[in-house]
A and B are shown apart, each in its own frame.
Chain A
Amino acid sequence: MINDDECIALFNSPTRVMKAEKALRKAGFVCRLIPAPRDVAEGCALALRFAAAELTPILFELGRQDLLPRRMYQKHAGLFRSIPVSSEP
C-alpha cells in the first residue's frame, strides 16, 4: 500500500483530506487517497499518499490552500518516520 520513499499525510477530517486531494490534483501533483495504516492512525481514517520527492512543493501548495495536514510520515526501511508539518522551505 505504501512503498519506501513515499509519504502519507493525515488530516483532521474526511472532508479536509478530500479537499487536499482535489487541490493537489488540480495543481498537477500525483497523489492518492488510501486507508491510513494502523501504525500511524487508529480507526478508519483516510490518508493522502504521494512521492517523497514531491514533499516540499506539496507542502507549499497545501499551505497556500490553508490545508496543511495534521500529521505526516515518510516510509523508510519499512518504518514510518514522522515529518514536521510546515509549508516553509
Chain B
Amino acid sequence: MAIYLDNAATTFPKPESVYRAIDLTLRHLGVSPGRGSYQLSLEAGRLVLGVRETVAEFFGIRDASRVVFAANATSAINLALFGLLQSGDRVVTSAMEHNAVSRPLHALAARGVEVVRVPVDACGLIDPAVIRAIVREGKGPTRMVVLSHCSNVTGVVQPVAEIGNWCRREGILFMVDAAQSAGQVPIHVEDMGIDLLAVAGHKSLLGPPGTGALYVAESLLPTPLVCGGTGGNAISPQMPEELPERFESGTLNTPAIAGLQAGIEFVRQAGLQKIQRHKAGLLEQLLCGLRGLPGIRCYNPSGNWSLGGVLSFNVEGRDPAEIGFLLDEEYGICVRTGLHCAPDAHRSIGTLPSGTIRVSPGLFNTEKDIDALLAAMEKMIGWR
C-alpha cells in the first residue's frame, strides 16, 4: 500500500462517510436536481440546497444562493475573473499565485486588463502595506485585489482579513483563492472582507474530485461563461440574473455534491483546529528529521509555519524530480515534485525552474508514514 503524501493536490483517501454518501446518492437519487417536479427530482434538489447551505454556513455566507457549485477551484476562479474584469480594469495580485489565478490574469492582460503583481518575502508572505502602496500608486482606480489565501508551495498563509477589510473600505473588490485553505484554515467572508471566494471541494474539505464552489457577494453579477438550461424560466433566451442558476447551466453532479456535504460534516465534527494540529505535528516531525540530513534546504515560512499543511524542500545537488521518482519507485511514497503549477511562487522563493519536493500529509497519515519517508530519505542521501 502506497504512502500518500500529496494531499495538497487532492486529499486521499476520503472519510468512509464520503464514499457512502456518493454511492447512496448515485444509487437512489441519481436524477437531475431542480429540473423536474416529480418527487425524486425535488428530493435531489433539496439535497443540493442543503449542501449549498452547509457551504454557506461553513464560510460565514449569509445567503446560500450566492454559493455557486463549480467543478473545482480553477473553474470558480475563471468564472469570477473572466465574468467581472474588462479592458481598462486594474487588478492587483501577488507573485505567489497558482496558475489557476496567474493564467486567467495573463489571458485578461492580453484583453486590456492591467495586472500588477506585488512582491513577496523569501517565504512568499505578502506585506499588506505593499498592496496598499501599489494600489495607491496606480494611475486609475484598482478594480480588484486577488490573492491565494495559502500557498500550495510553501504553505504560507496570507493576512487576508487585514487586506480584505482594507479593500472593503476602499471600495475595491477582494477575491480569495482558497483552494488550499478551505477546510484547513478558518474562513469567514464577512469578517475577512471577501467579495469572491473560490474553494476546492476535493482538498481539505474532503469531498470528491469534481467539486468546488464560488461565493459571489450580493452586489456582484458576473457574466456567465457557460450558457444553457437552468431549470426555470426556460422560455427566455437569456440567462437568468438570479444566482446560483445564472452560473449552473447543465446537470449538477449531485452524487459528488452529496460527497462534499459528507466531507464538510467530517471536517466540522473533527474540528479544524484538531485537523490542523494533526497535520502540523506530522510536518514538525518531518522538518525535525530533515534537519538531521545533509544538504537539505526547507522553504517553510517563519512563525506558525505548518498552518498551511505543506512543507517544500530540496536536496543540494539533486534533482527534485529524481528524488520524487525514487521515493515512489523504491519506497512507494507519493510526494509532489516540480513547480506545483505555481511557477510564480517558485520564482519568488528562488526555486525556478526545477521546483521543490513537496510533502503534504492528510488527516489519515500517521507518524509511521513520516518515519518511512525520513528513512527513505536517509537511505538516499545519508546522515549529516
Residues in chain A within 8 A of chain B (CB atoms)? 12-16, 18-19, 21-22, 33-35, 42-46
Contacts and interface: CB of A to CB of B under 8 A. Distances in A.
A22 B45 CA distance: 11
B302 interface: no
B242 A16 contact: yes
B231 A14 contact: yes
Contact of B37 (A19, A21, A46): A46
Interface in B200-235: 230-235
A15 B49 CA distance: 7
Contacts of A15: 34, 49, 52, 64-65, 242-245
Nearest to B229: A44
A17 to B, nearest CB: 8
30 contacts: A12-B232, A13-B65, A13-B232, A13-B240, A13-B243, A14-B45, A14-B231, A14-B232, A14-B245, A15-B34, A15-B49, A15-B52, A15-B242, A18-B34, A18-B42, A18-B46, A18-B49, A19-B49, A19-B64, A21-B46, A33-B37, A33-B42, A35-B37, A42-B234, A44-B37, A44-B231, A44-B232, A46-B37, A46-B42, A46-B232
The 3 closest A-B pairs by CB, nearest first: A43-B234, A13-B242, A35-B37
Contact of B235 (A19, A33, A34, A42): A42
A34 B36 CA distance: 10
Given A14-B45, A18-B42, A22-B49, 13 more contacts: A12-B233, A12-B240, A13-B232, A13-B240, A13-B243, A13-B245, A15-B34, A15-B64, A15-B245, A19-B64, A43-B233, A45-B232, A46-B42
Nearest to A32: B42
A15 B46 CA distance: 9
A18 B53 CA distance: 12
Interface in B6-37: 34-37
Contacts of A13: 65, 232, 240, 242-243, 245
Contacts of B34: 14-15, 18
A42 B235 CA distance: 7
Contacts of B234: 42-44
B233 A45 contact: yes
Interface residues of B, number: 22
A16 B233 CA distance: 13
Contacts of A42: 233-235
Interface in B31-90: 34-37, 42, 45-46, 49, 52, 64-65
| Interface-centre pick from B49, B230, B232, B245 (highest chain A CB count, 10 A) | B232
Interface core residue of A12, A43, A45, A46 (most chain B CB under 10 Å): A46
A10 to B, nearest CB: 10
Contacts of A21: 46
B242 A12 contact: yes
A34 B49 contact: no
Contacts of B37: 33-35, 44, 46
A42 B260 CA distance: 34
Contacts of B230: 14
A12 B35 CA distance: 14
A63 B49 CA distance: 20
A12 B233 CA distance: 8
Contacts of A33: 37, 42
Highest count of chain B CB atoms <10 Å: which of A15, A18, A22, A45: A15
B232 A43 contact: yes
Nearest to A44: B234
A83 to B, nearest CB: 21
A9 to B, nearest CB: 14
A22 B46 contact: yes
Contacts of A46: 37, 42, 232
A22 B47 CA distance: 11
A65 B245 CA distance: 20
A60 B232 CA distance: 25
Contact of A16 (B46, B65, B235): B65
Residue in A14, A18, A21, A34 whose Cβ sees the most chain B Cβ within 10 Å: A14
Interface string B238-273: 001011110000000000000000000000000000
